[in-house]
Amino acid sequence: MGQTLTYRILSAHLVDGKIAAGEQIGIRIDQTLTQDATGTTAFLLFESMGAGRVRTELSVSYIDHNMSQFGPENHNDHLYLQTVAAKSGLYHSRAGNGICHQVHLERFGRPGATLLGSDSHTPTCGGIGMLAIGAGGLDVAVAMAAGPFYLTCPKVLGVKLTGHLGDWVAVKDVILKLLGQLSTKGNVGWAVEYFGEGAKQLSVPQRATITNMGAELGVTTSIFASDEQTRKFLAAQKREKDYQPLAADADAEYERIIEINLAELEPMAACPSSPDNVKTVAEIAGVQIGQVVVGSCTNSSFDDLMMVAKILRGGRINNMVEFAVAPGSREVLNMLAENGALADMISAGARILESACGPCIGQGFSPAGGVVSLRTFNRNFAGRSGTTDDQVYLVSPETAVASVLTGRITDPRDLPKLFGIEYPRMELPDEFIVNDSLMEEPLSEEEAANVQVLRAPTIVVPQVPPPLPKALQGKVLIKCGDKVTTDHIMPAGSFLKLRSNVPEYAKAVFNCFNEQGRPTFAERAIELKQKGIAGVIVAGVSYGQGSSREHAALCPMHLGVRAVIAKSIERIHKANLINFCIVPIEFAEPADYDKIKPDDLLQIDNLLEVIKAGDKVKIVNKTGSYEFVGRLVLSERDRQILLSAGLLNYTRRKTDG
């Protein structure tokens, strides 16, 4: 039996273990990316590992999240990241150069290579035939120092695309359809490979929209073959030398295959407030809207914005809707400016935002309470827009722009009838305008010797976790439900600027669940910590969905949390918990979740012993006077990391021999 593309690339990079679904493997990482919101911690940890210069083929540090610059924090971070990148031999993409995933696809992505990024949407580069994986910043720091990246070898799901997309139906509708089918939970341990006649017609940016939202499925990575479309894209980016054809073997064996006939698809929308709450646009058409935003790493490519501009040309947005456009990169913005498309958008009424994450991560453009906002983004978790009672729908650029013209959710297939607008056919340009004015190249070792790393007082080195106790006495600080995201655990929005200051940021842990008049999660945790009692988080299925932010582990650890007991935990978050020495435990019997209550006192007598060898742990609920069993699903390396008090200590010990 032949190999899938995923296994081919994994095999070519294997340094530890064997390629078989479910096995722990270590792989060599060719490229890394970090962004500023996760990057400052990653570099502080990289520096404390004493690693010196990066040892990958290339590593890029991007500034794209924290760019509002209210107060000095953001700029302090930028200066730190710029100088530490210069010192350590990285490329540095300055604020305004664009969203990391879009820029990486344009400037660095290479078929067949591995990419590890401290952002959950790193698999965007799967659109160019890379094996691209999201991880916590500490894992990326280790990879920058040439350490292998460890993961569970995924099962591979094949998605066979047949037929042609109809007019006004977009690739966003393909991935929304799949999200509706597979949901955001239960897909841990899978990778998705797209192939078939339908896949062959898609351009690299279109493929990247699909692989980008694999993050919402919760899969390890998503990938397309590298073929003529890939060559064309790389040639247009003046990087044809990076091209190599690459595909799965013709007789590759997939664990499961799903077939999607592109011709049968129709415009789709993810309704509030989960990316898997999917309906057809036709079903929700007519709902009044107040805001439309086009952008984010999912849909801000040149093609996406040309589609928007062409539809808008000569038209005018609806009076009751505000409309913003954030081009994904400076290259895209530059191209739109040169060919007049920017002027079309401006004259139709668009507000042009910087090339950055912006509204996607609650950095401005929060909608009014209860007002419906249509966004071409990838996440619509409640409150992520910065408005508590937001109503965010995720749609394609085509649906977004049709709706901005009418003021209601509108099926773009109605545009010819409503406004006489013909479907604009899109062609990948033969040449992109390469704009590297804000991209700094790595310095040589001699040049780097003169660089002084700037670390302002708002940048605080995070505390290293204390060792785990032999026996754990812990109190349930919170009992949350299913699908709790890392946005729930660690809010972004106005708190995002605190990313480089764990003691301050930790005050916001579970902020959305805090009740007025009651001590906050952080206050309760600190009080317990002072009494020498550990904090425990209890959760339902799919705990830690969404963002890769390791602060969702680092900040609870700072507050004294030592265990999470959940029905299931998502891949990146589980790795982050282990890296910061919080024990991830699964309920052996999901019914035990129902019995446990907030404030219950729990006791694990032989914690260290079980971590060493066992896979079941007896937990005594002292308040409820009963016992239940927890499962430890850990690799040998995970156990060693927990016993070493976290990944940083583990790595230091290994390097010290």
Q: Which does 296 bind (CB under 5 to 8 A by kind): ligand SF4, ligand MIC, none?
A: ligand SF4
Pick out residues in 483-522 that bind ligand MIC (CB under 6 A): 492
| 549 catalytic residue (yes or no) | yes
Q: How far is CA 104 from CA 97, 127, 183, 325, 592, in A?
A: 11, 11, 27, 20, 45
85 binds ligand MIC (CB under 6 A): no
The Cα 493–Cα 495 span in angstroms is: 5
Counting contacts by CB under 6 A, is residue 184 touching ligand MIC?
no
Query: Is the CB of residue 514 less than 8 Å from the CB of residue 388?
Result: no
3-state secondary structure of 291: strand
What is the C-alpha R_g of the chain?
Answer: 24
- Taking the least distance from each CB to ligand SF4, the nearer of 274 and 296 is 296
Which among 250-258, 518-526, 541-549, 633-641 is the span making contact with ligand MIC, rule CB under 6 A? 541-549
Give start and end residues of each alpha helix (H) in 350-428. 397-406, 415-419
Considering the complex, state which of residue 38 and residue 403 has its C-beta at the smaller distance from ligand MIC. 38
CB of 563 to ligand MIC, least distance (A): 23
Look at residue 548 and give the partner it binds from ligand MIC, ligand SF4, none, a contact being a CB closer than 5 to 8 Å depending on partner kind: ligand MIC
Q: Which two tokens stand for residue 200?
A: 């062959």
CB of 357 to ligand SF4, least distance (A): 3
Closest distance between ligand SF4 and the C-beta of residue 378, in Å? 5
At its nearest, how many Å lie between ligand SF4 and the CB of residue 362? 9
Residue 300 sits in the site that holds ligand MIC (CB under 6 A): no
Question: How would DSSP label each residue in 456-523?
Answer: -TT--PPPPPPPPPSSEEEEEEEE--SS-BHHHHS--GGGGGGTT-HHHHGGGTTGGG--TTS--HHH
In the residue annotation, 351 being an active-site residue is answered as no
Q: Which does 549 bind (CB under 5 to 8 A by kind): ligand SF4, ligand MIC, none?
A: ligand MIC
Shorter beta-carbon distance to ligand SF4: residue 155 or 172? 172
Q: How far apart are CA 110 and CA 95, in angstroms?
A: 24
Of positions 13, 92, 121, 413, contacts ligand MIC by CB under 6 A: 121
Residue 24 structure tokens:
């722990």
Closest approach, Cβ 622 to ligand MIC, in A, equals 36
Q: CB nearer to ligand SF4: give 175 or 265.
A: 175
Complex with ligand MIC: residue 38 or 220, whichever CB lies closer? 38
User: What x/- string results for residues 437 through 476 when contact with ligand MIC is judged by CB under 6 A?
Assistant: ----------------------------------------
Least gap, CB of 307 to ligand SF4 (angstroms): 18
637 is annotated as an active-site residue:
no
Cβ at position 237, least distance to ligand MIC in Å: 23
Cα separation, 407 vs 410, in Å, equals 8
> Which of 30, 73, 77, 119 touches ligand MIC by CB under 6 A?
119
Q: Are 20 and 7 in contact (CB under 8 A)?
A: no
Report DSSP letters for 413-427, one per residue. Answer: GGHHHHH-PPPPP--
Task: Mark residues 40-69: x for contact with ligand MIC by CB under 6 A, - for none.
Answer: -------------------------x----
Annotated catalytic residue, options 30, 36, 59, 64: 64
Active site residue 107: no
- Min CB(235)–ligand SF4 separation in Å: 26
Query: Using CB under 6 A as the criterion, which residues of the chain lie in contact with ligand SF4 when the complex forms?
Result: 65, 99, 119, 121, 296-297, 357, 360-361, 378
Residues in the chain, how many?
657
Which of 380, 547, 576, 644 touches ligand MIC (CB under 6 A)? Answer: 547
548 binds ligand MIC (CB under 6 A): yes
Question: d(Cα 61, Cα 369) in Å, to the nearest integer?
Answer: 35
Cβ contacts of 295 within 8 Å, gap of 6 or more: 324, 325, 326, 327, 328, 353, 358, 359, 360, 376, 377
Pairing of strands 268-270, 322-325: unpaired
Residue 549 interacts with ligand MIC (CB under 6 A)? yes
Region 330-369 residues binding ligand MIC, contact defined as CB under 6 A: 361
| Cα dihedral: 373, 379, 381, 383 (round 10) | -50
Out of ligand MIC, ligand SF4, none, which partner does residue 199 contact, by CB within 5 to 8 A per kind? none
The alpha helices in 260-351, defined as continuous H runs, are 281-284, 302-312, 330-339, 341-348
Quote the least distance from Cβ 360 to ligand MIC, whole Å. Answer: 6
Residue with tokens 């609870």: 556
Strand order in the sheet with 322-325: 278-280, 268-270, 391-394, 372-375, 291-294, 322-325, 351-352
Dihedral angle computed from the Cα positions of residues 604, 608, 614 and 616, in that order, rounded to the nearest 10 degrees: 20
Closest CA to 460 of 73, 118, 163: 73
**Could you list the residues that contact ligand MIC (CB under 6 A)?**
37-38, 65, 119-121, 361, 492, 546-549
Active-site annotation, residues: 64-65, 119, 379, 547, 549
